[in-house]
Amino acid sequence: MKKRKKDEKKKQKRKKGKLFFALISLFLIVAVSGILCYRKVCIYRSRFSQLDIAVNEYLENRGFSVLEKKIKKKGVYYLLPQAERIVDIPFNCSLDKLSQEMEGYFGTFEDSFLRLKEKNESDIYHLEASLGFDNYLAQRLDFILRKAKLALLIDDFGYRDDTVVDLFLNKIDIPLTISIIPGTPFAQSIANKAEKSGKEVILHLPMQPQGDFVNDYRWIILKGMSSAEIKETFREALRDVPQARGVNNHMGSLITTRQAEMKPLLEEIKKARLYFVDSKTASNSIAYSLAQKMGVRTAQNKMFLDNEKRIDYIRERFQKMVVSLNESEKVIGLGHVNQVTGEAILNFISHLDQRKVKLVYISEIVE
């Protein structure tokens, strides 16, 4: 009996010894793991800090504006800092060179990685840069460029329905706004074709110019017309092109400078829920500013593209207009329905950087 009790006590001591050894071993494992983790976190934070300084210096030297910066804590077993920035790309920045510059600048960091991903959305171009080391993502930069919107307006449709018209309606496969002169032989047929081909139609309303002119228009706004005459003329012209979503002036270097005629016309345009584009045939036109004051959705022509019917001239005008664009700007370039202008547009849009410029209908930029 005594011997049995002694054996049980020995067993209990051995169990306690094993449990104590296990606890000591567990404590040591936890302690060592903690020390290693702490060391790893300290090293990471030091490298994160160095990388964060380098990112700040790079952005400052390049003149990039940080729109937003957040530092979050990421991790499962231990939390590590991770910076996220939204960076505005200057519109004149070369997008092709940007990624090369980043690779050269951040490639000097030992054991670091840089991953770049482009995303070309409808209105914004993104270049997403991921920076880190040892498989940890430390810095995420979302470079963004808000695209300029460019609307091409092609005037003087209605007098012809031939291969030139087909070039604009079917072969130039971009958002294109065409303006049709009411009362012309092919006004209605071209409006129908344009609508089917996905082009936007507006009314190219004749208005009296400065000086002498030949008035062979069925509907035209003339100096001295009463408000009732102006409104009725507009309504009749609109019935000839019912697909119209807006109106712009054909000629009109006199009328667009006169409030007496423009005010009743704009009242009727607003009533019809259409927009108005000032073609800017007169430098002293009041049409655009008056439309703004009256609450009419409006815009104005920035540049005539084809005053000279030469492809090199038109291409140069296009390039000048695009170079002058700014981030988020909305502009209209105006041309005319002819073979040379059509070929120049086809040539230019094939080289247009659509990461910076979005081609749109005029209805997308009127305000």
Of the residues 112, 146, 180, which one is the last residue of a structural domain? 146
Same structural domain for residues 295 and 154?
Answer: yes
Q: How far apart are CA 185 and CA 166, in angstroms?
A: 16
Of 119, 146, 173, the position where a domain reaches its end is 146
Dihedral, CA atoms, 321, 327, 331, 336, nearest 10 degrees?
Answer: 40
- Regarding whether 113 and 254 lie in a shared domain, the answer is no
Residues 240, 288 share a domain: yes
Asked if 262 and 358 sit in the same domain, the reply is yes
Is residue 36 domain-resident?
no
Residues 118 and 137 in one domain: yes
Q: How many CA atoms lie within 13 A of 95 on its CB side?
A: 22
131 and 152 in a single domain? The answer is: no
Q: Do 227 and 310 fall into the same domain?
A: yes
Report if residue 184 sits inside a domain: yes
| Confidence at residue 49, expressed as pLDDT on a 0 to 100 scale | 87
Query: Interhelix angle for 311-323 vs 339-349, to 10°?
Result: 50
Same domain, 106 and 120: yes
Query: Residue 147: what residue type?
Result: K
Burial-class residue 92 by CB neighbours within 10 Å (0-12, 13-18, 19+). exposed
Residue 205 pairs in a beta bridge with 249
Residues 175 and 138 in one domain: no
Question: What are the angstrom distances between the C-alpha of 339 and each of 33, 45, 168, 274, 354?
Answer: 77, 64, 9, 29, 24
**Do both 222 and 262 map to the same domain?**
yes
Q: Report pLDDT for 45.
A: 83
CA neighbor of 258 nearest in space, from 233, 231, 282, 292: 282
Domain enclosing residue 106, as ranges: 46-146
Dihedral sign of CA atoms 185, 186, 192, 194 in order: negative
Number of structural domains in the chain: 2
Q: For the chain, what is the radius of gyration of the CA atoms?
A: 34
Where is the domain boundary, 111, 146, 181?
146
69 and 208 share one domain? no
The CATH number for 208's domain is: 3.20.20.370
- Residue 315 forms part of a structural domain: yes
The answer to whether position 267 is within a domain reads yes
Over residues 149-172, the pLDDT tens digits come to 999 999 999 999 999 999 999 999
What are the backbone dihedrals phi and psi of residue 340, each rounded to the nearest 5 degrees, phi first?
-65, -45
**Which of the residues in the chain have pLDDT under 50?**
none
Q: Are 207 and 252 in contact (CB under 8 A)?
A: yes
Q: Let me know if residue 208 belongs to a domain.
A: yes
Q: How far apart are CA 157 and CA 149, in angstroms?
A: 24
For residue 248, being part of any structural domain is answered with yes
The reported pTM is: 0.85
Residue 33 located in a structural domain: no
- Assess if residue 38 is contained within a domain: no
Q: pLDDT at position 100, please? A: 87
132 and 238 inside one domain? no
